Amino acid sequence: MHITITGSRGSGKSTLAKRLLSDLNLQPSGFVTLPYAIEGQRRGHYLHSLVDCPDQLNDLPISVLQAPRYSIGIPDTFATLGVACLLQSLAAQSDCVLLDEIGRFETTVEPFLTAVRSVLAQQEKRVLAVVQKEPLPFLDELCGWPGCLHLDLDQVGREAAYQIMFSAWR
C-alpha cells in the first residue's frame, strides 16, 4: 500500500516519513528536497536523488529565493534529474520509493508528472510521498490517488498518523 502525507508547512510531514523509514529499517530509493544556504542564509531548495542516476549530476537546485517568502522554481531539474531519479528508483535495490517532497514548482513539468504517476501506478514497491498542501490539481490528484493511504496532518495528529502508517507498513 502506498502512503501520501500532506499538511501545513512545518506540520512534520518529512520528519514523520523519516521516522517511519528509520523505525521499520527501510532503505528507500527516490529523492528528498533539502534547503541550501549561501553565507548562512537560506536561498532555496535542491533535489537529492537517493539512487545513482548515470549521466546526471545530483543535488541540483529546484528553487531560488528571490525575496522574503518569494521563490521561483527551476523546472529543468525536475525534467532531468527528477525523471531520471524516479525511473532509476523503480529498478533500484530498495525497500520502497520516497518522494519527499512534491510541491508547486514541479506541477507544470509534464515529464516529471508522468514519472510520478508511473511510480504510483506500480505495485512492486511501496511508495511514501510527502505532498505540500496547496490547492493545485496535480497535488490534489496525488492526495486522492486510488488505493493510497492518505493522511492529512492537519486533520489527523502526527502521532496518530504515525501509528496508522506504521500499522499499514509493518
Q: How far apart are the C-alpha atoms of 146 and 123, rounded to whole Å?
A: 12
Cell numbers of 106, please? Answer: 514541479
Q: Count other C-beta atoms under 10 Å from residue 153's C-beta.
A: 20
At 22, which CATH number?
A: 3.40.50.300
Residue-level pLDDT at 69:
86
CB 122, CB 90: distance < 8 Å = yes
Residue 16 has pLDDT above 90, yes or no: yes
124: number of Cβ within 10 Å: 6
Residues 99-141 pLDDT 10s? 999 999 999 999 999 999 999 999 999 999 999 999 999 999 9
State pLDDT tens for residues 27-81: 999 999 999 999 999 999 999 999 999 999 999 999 999 998 899 999 999 999 9
- Rounded distance between C-alpha atoms, residue 54 and residue 41, angstroms: 32
CA-CA distance, 35 to 64, in Å (whole number)?
Answer: 10
Q: Which set of grid coordinates corresponds to residue 98?
A: 520516497
- What pTM was estimated for this model as a whole? 0.96
The region that residue 134 occupies, defined by phi over 0 for left and psi between -120 and 50 for alpha, beta otherwise, is: beta
Total number of domains in the chain? 1
Task: Fill in the amino acid letter for 151.
Answer: L
Phi/psi of residue 149, each to 5°? -85, 115
The confidence score (pLDDT) of residue 19 equals 98
CA distance 5 to 101: 10
- Which residue range(s) make up the domain with 54? 3-169
pLDDT at 167 over 90: yes
